[in-house]
């Protein structure tokens, strides 16, 4: 009987998507496991776009190569019907900063609920309600996903996470109890960063970025009968750097909080009997990212740094396993190169 494997693709903007592609490429080289074969994929924000493209049949290799060659609009490769533009995370003319948002509260119902039930909402959800609504539409990203899937069929075993902008509730499109919509609409909802992009209305309900609920939402996989789960968490870090700029230091404070949330979710998964491998950026990759995860100018540096670092970590893990079989004392003396892949 084959092992049931899950894949969690977290939030992280343009650079988080590049980091996940580099890491998945190294993972495939190290294990021969194809991410398209995951039995269940949970995608949040940038991870929802990557997950949707994988479910459309694009290989990690094709997506990685497309990021390296954005001069060729058909470099992702061909699906059976037509070429797919290589714009998934490389919207070159997309600015790295938000436009001037609308005036006023983003979601009065969400703020009122926070007043009535202050313990029911996370600080991030409360902030999302207070922040003004963004102006930028997500139609380009939605169009990429729509063309990739060539229809309205929802890909099996794909969950896309967003947040109900009125109640603060986490919603998992594609799950048994999730709202029904197209994969493109769900991805747009999952990517609607507060104060940056416009909320996405599905039915009569506005939705925003699923990262407001959690940077990964890995705990959704508890009780799903999976033997193993790979969690890719671009917004976390188990080996942080020490930047000097004030903006980068503030970003690292948020990252510390995100790491704690991810590891709590991972602990729940492991307690349920699932083996979990967590992958998050290390010091060198954080230096390549800088402080703005939407700065696509750094995309290629992050892509290469993530793959190179992941290759080293998987090689170290293999060496430690072999050493532990031969001599436990030798294994314990090897450098802890897998502190972000445990």
Q: Report the SS3 class of residue 160.
A: strand
Q: Does the structure show a pLDDT above 80 at 327?
A: no
Which runs of E-coded beta strand occur in 256-321? Answer: 275-279
- 200-202/40-44 β-pairing: unpaired
Share of the chain above pLDDT 90, in %: 70
Q: Does the structure show a pLDDT above 70 at 300?
A: yes
Mean pLDDT of the chain: 87
> What are 266's two structure tokens?
């991972």
Q: What is the pLDDT of residues 210-222, one digit of tens each?
A: 999 999 999 999 9
Most confident of 62-66, 92-96, 195-199, 329-333: 195-199
**CB distance 30 to 253 below 8 Å:** no
**CB distance 218 to 42 below 8 Å:** yes
**Sequence-separated contacts (24+) of 249-257 with Cβ below 8 Å:** 250/291, 251/291, 251/292, 252/286
State residue 97's pLDDT score: 80
Q: Report the SS3 class of residue 167.
A: coil
Q: Does the structure show a pLDDT above 50 at 94?
A: yes
State residue 149's pLDDT score: 85
Query: 46-55 vs 13-31: helix axis angle to the nearest 10?
Result: 40
Let me know if 253 is exposed, middle or buried by CB neighbors in 10 A (0-12, 13-18, 19+): exposed
**CB distance 135 to 100 below 8 Å:** yes
Q: Does the structure show a pLDDT above 60 at 54?
A: yes
Where would I find the H helices in the chain? 13-31, 46-55, 60-68, 108-116, 123-130, 139-149, 183-190, 246-271, 283-289, 299-326, 328-333
State residue 78's pLDDT score: 38
Residues in contact with 307: Cβ distance below 8 Å, sequence separation at least 6, in sequence order: 22, 23, 25, 26, 64
Where would I find the H helices in 56-210? 60-68, 108-116, 123-130, 139-149, 183-190
- 205-209/200-202 β-pairing: antiparallel
Q: In what helix (H) or strand (E) does residue 6 lie, and over which residues does it extend? A: strand 5-9
State residue 65's pLDDT score: 85
CA distance 285 to 234: 10
State residue 86's pLDDT score: 43
Q: What is the pLDDT of residues 11-42, one digit of tens each?
A: 999 999 999 999 999 999 999 999 999 999 99
Range of weakest confidence among 85-89, 182-186, 231-235 = 85-89
Which runs of E-coded beta strand occur in 15-155? Answer: 40-44
Residues in contact with 123: Cβ distance below 8 Å, sequence separation at least 6, in sequence order: none
Under DSSP, the state recorded for 149 is H
CA distance 200 to 193: 10
When pLDDT is averaged across residues 71-83 and rounded to a whole number, the result is 39
When pLDDT is averaged across residues 318-337 and rounded to a whole number, the result is 55
CA distance 156 to 166: 28
Residues in contact with 82: Cβ distance below 8 Å, sequence separation at least 6, in sequence order: 147, 150
């Amino acid at each position: 009987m084959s092992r049931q494997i899950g894949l969690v693709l977290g939030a992280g903007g343009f650079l988080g998507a590049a980091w996940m592609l580099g890491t998945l490429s190294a993972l495939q080289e190290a294990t021969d496991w194809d991410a398209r074969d995951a039995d269940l994929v949970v995608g949040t924000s940038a991870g929802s776009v990557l997950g949707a493209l994988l479910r459309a049949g694009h290989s990690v290799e094709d997506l990685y190569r497309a990021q390296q060659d954005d001069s060729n609009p058909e470099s992702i490769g061909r699906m059976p019907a037509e070429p797919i533009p290589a714009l998934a995370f490389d919207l070159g003319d997309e600015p790295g900063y938000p436009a001037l948002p609308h005036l006023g509260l983003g979601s009065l119902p969400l703020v009122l609920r926070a007043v009535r039930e202050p313990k029911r909402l996370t600080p991030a959800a409360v902030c999302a309600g207070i922040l003004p609504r963004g102006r930028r539409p997500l139609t380009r990203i939605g169009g990429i996903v729509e063309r990739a899937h060539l229809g309205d069929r929802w890909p099996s075993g794909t969950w896309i996470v967003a947040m109900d902008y009125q109640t603060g509730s986490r919603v998992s499109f594609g799950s048994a109890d999730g709202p029904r919509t197209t994969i493109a609409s769900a991805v747009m909802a999952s990517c609607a960063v507060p104060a940056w992009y416009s909320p996405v209305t599905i039915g009569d309900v506005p939705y925003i970025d699923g990262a407001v609920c959690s940077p990964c939402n890995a705990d959704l996989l508890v009780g799903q009968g999976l033997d193993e789960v790979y969690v890719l968490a671009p917004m976390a870090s188990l080996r942080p750097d020490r930047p000097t700029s004030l903006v980068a230091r503030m970003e690292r404070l948020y990252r510390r909080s995100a790491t704690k949330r991810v590891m709590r979710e991972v602990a729940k998964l492991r307690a349920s009997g699932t083996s979990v491998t967590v992958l998050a950026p290390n010091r060198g990759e954080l230096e390549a990212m800088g402080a703005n995860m939407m700065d696509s100018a750094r995309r290629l540096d992050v892509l290469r740094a993530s793959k190179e670092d992941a290759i080293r970590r998987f090689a170290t893990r293999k060496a430690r396993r072999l050493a532990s079989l031969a001599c436990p004392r030798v294994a314990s003396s090897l450098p802890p190169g897998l502190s972000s892949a445990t």
